[in-house]
Amino acid sequence: MSEIVNESLRKIAKGAVLVFIGTGIGMLLGFVSRIMVARYVTQSEFGIYSLASVLLNVFATISLLGLATGTTRQVAFYRGKEDESKVRGVVLSSINIAAISSIFFSIVLFLTSNLISVKLFHSPELTTPLRVFCIAIPFSVLIETFTSIFRGFERAEPNVYFYQILRNASFLLLLLVVILLNLAFMGVIWAFVASVVLTFAAFTVYAARKPPLVLKKERHAPISQMAKELLLFSLPLLGVIMFYLSVTWLDTLMLGYFMLPSDVGLYNAAQSLTSLFPMVLQAATFIYFPLMSQLSAKNQSEDVKRSYTVLTKWIFMATLPIFLIFVLFPEATLNILFGSRYIEAAFALRILSLGFFIQTILGASSATLAAMGHVRFIMWSVLISFIANVALAIMLIPPWGIVGAATATASAFAVTFGLLSARLYSLSKIHPFSKNFLKPAIASVALVLVIYALVKNLVSVIPFWLLPVLLILFLGVYALSVLLTRSFGKEDIMMLLTIERKLGINLTAIKRILRRFV
């Protein structure tokens, strides 16, 4: 294995560990907050909250104009070429564009909030939450922009400290205040907005004190030139944005149009659980993407290929146990976390889990193609998926409700990442399905199905404590399958060593076992 791949995997592992832990903490805090909101308000109010949150994310994402990915790629790309002047130009351009765009779209949402609520979703009670959420759009967009800049410098700490932990922790604390004071539903909305503003203020202070580079006016490329170049690269990524709108938000919006707010609340309980899947992918690709952008700038395609293969295998290993729990025990999961009134979403949870699992396993293909500069193909692929998702949602939601929405979403994931993976393979013969990937996957799934049959025969009602036990057991089954099929390679050991150093723990016993099977 080349030293370049070694170093890339070390950086990916170090960044992934930090981002995974931070993202895990942030998502846990956010998940607890969402459960608290669902239990504190009525199912209809939870539906209104979900619709308002989706619309906030839609307008904030459109405001970014693809800059979240474009800024990271361009910063990393010019760093790979050692052109510091253009790096500074990209940083300044992204901040200026994001600020202007977010304020504009915030005003647009405020002015159209009543029209959207009454004419589109037939819910006048949605108007006020939307108008309050407008305040959060510029702050949310600038937080994303700052994160993408630091990401381009392979600095994962700000993303963890502010975007993941502070934003979610502050909302949880403010939500506790709302509940203790027994405030009305709007108290939840104001608590969310306050958490975003607080996070932005803290991030701004941090960025001023610990900037990734010094922005001297006389030493950066012309802003107008860099802004044009940045937009030309980033705007095609609006196709990617349309995809994420379709698969993570469109189902909620279409349910709001065709069904009642209570149905939206029911569906979002299942969707909240499946949002755990992208956590692993986001953590793994946070550092992977800028590193692959630098390797691509240096035309080191073979190193990109080997890094992609190892990364995908580790993502699969981390997400398989969660996928199996949601697919095999959806009723128990929903009942324990959200209460018995949300058990109706069990079948939708199964379908969504499959879709998000596909996205997670093949998701690195999108980051790899973007790093290689093939953003137009990504745009057209996700545009096709977006159109298919809209068509399926229109056909399936009226007769099937939340199951139709879940089916449309899962289908969109399969179409998009099937196209992206096929394109990546045609360009560079990159694919994750090596023998070391498939052998333990097949063996572990077979063993898990045996365990599932035993549990279903012995236990009629799944208790709370059994789910985490099964999760750990499924992870152990996969690890055992990897060892017995001798699917653990030198690259995997290197990743493990990096994780060991990063976490400061002693894995000597595990390494001794692994040496016997490599």
Q: What per-residue confidence (pLDDT) applies to 322?
A: 86
Q: What per-residue confidence (pLDDT) applies to 44?
A: 86
| Each residue's pLDDT tens digit, 299-327 | 666 666 777 777 777 788 878 888 888 99
Q: What per-residue confidence (pLDDT) applies to 20?
A: 64
Task: Tell me the mean pLDDT in the region 109-134.
Answer: 93
Q: What per-residue confidence (pLDDT) applies to 507?
A: 57
Distance CA 235, CA 227 (A): 11
Q: What per-residue confidence (pLDDT) applies to 3?
A: 54
| Each residue's pLDDT tens digit, 226-267 | 777 787 777 776 666 666 666 667 888 888 889 888 888 889
| Each residue's pLDDT tens digit, 277-290 | 777 776 666 666 66
Residue 70: C-alpha distances to residues 94, 195, 214, 264, 464 (Å): 9, 26, 21, 33, 43
Token pair 């399936």 is at which residue?
Answer: 396
In the chain, what percentage of residues exceed pLDDT 90? 24
Q: Compute CA 154 distance to the chain's CA centroid, rounded to the nearest angstrom.
A: 18
Cβ neighbors of 139 (< 8 A, separation 6 or more) are 196, 197, 199, 200
Q: What per-residue confidence (pLDDT) applies to 437?
A: 75
| Each residue's pLDDT tens digit, 450-493 | 888 888 888 777 787 788 888 888 878 877 887 777 766 666 66
Distance CA 368, CA 414 (A): 18
Distance CA 159, CA 164 (A): 6
| Each residue's pLDDT tens digit, 170-219 | 999 999 999 999 999 999 999 999 999 999 999 999 988 887 765 555 45
**What global pTM score does this model have?**
0.69
Helix (H) or strand (E) segment spanning residue 295? helix 277-297
Task: Tell me the mean pLDDT in the region 63-74.
Answer: 81
Burial (Cβ within 10 Å: 0-12, 13-18, ≥19) of residue 143: buried
Task: Find out whether 147 and 64 touch, Cβ atoms under 8 Å.
Answer: no
Q: What per-residue confidence (pLDDT) applies to 477?
A: 84
| Each residue's pLDDT tens digit, 492-510 | 665 555 555 554 555 566 6
Task: Find out whether 72 and 151 touch, Cβ atoms under 8 Å.
Answer: yes
Task: Find out whether 174 and 121 touch, Cβ atoms under 8 Å.
Answer: no
Extents of the domains making up the chain: 3-433
Q: What per-residue confidence (pLDDT) applies to 288?
A: 67
Task: Find out whether 69 and 243 touch, Cβ atoms under 8 Å.
Answer: no
Residue 241 amino acid letter: I
Q: What per-residue confidence (pLDDT) applies to 105?
A: 95
Among 63-77, 249-263, 276-290, 340-354, the least confident range: 276-290
DSSP assignment of 276-291, as one string? THHHHHHHHHHHHHHH
Quick one: which of 155, 194, 150 has its CA closest to 176?
Answer: 194
Task: Tell me the mean pLDDT in the region 363-374.
Answer: 78
In this model, does residue 424 exceed pLDDT 80? yes
Average pLDDT, the chain: 80
Q: What per-residue confidence (pLDDT) applies to 163?
A: 84
Task: Tell me the mean pLDDT in the region 99-122.
Answer: 93
In this model, does residue 23 exceed pLDDT 80? no
Cβ neighbors of 212 (< 8 A, separation 6 or more) are 91, 149, 150, 152, 153, 155
Q: What per-residue confidence (pLDDT) applies to 77?
A: 75
Residue 116 amino acid letter: I
Q: Compute CA 299 distance to the chain's CA centroid, rounded to the nearest angstrom.
A: 28
Q: What per-residue confidence (pLDDT) applies to 1?
A: 45
